[in-house]
Amino acid sequence: MDIQELENAMALLIEDMNGDLGDSHEIYLRLQQTLAGMRAMGMPLPEDLVQMEQKLGEEFESGAK
């Protein structure tokens, strides 16, 4: 994935989160994928999205127990 593709993916993800489209698990998976791509390219990560990734991860982990 190049930078433009990551920016587009992030924009779509944010749009979906703001519009409450899709379930939280789907958004979490997309967020993980987008942030992983950004990490792989050495791009700075938006702190609010990193926190959201952690929060959603904790929620799904506790729900699985």
Higher pLDDT, 63 or 40: 40
Burial 27-64 (b: 16+ CB within 10 A, else e): bbebbeebbebbeeeeeeeeeebeebbeebeeeeeeee
> What pTM was computed for the model?
0.71
Total number of domains in the chain: 1
* 45-63 pLDDT, tens digit each: 989 889 989 988 998 888 7
Check residue 36 and give its pLDDT: 93
Structure confidence at residue 42 (pLDDT)? 93
- The boundaries of the domain holding residue 50 are 3-64
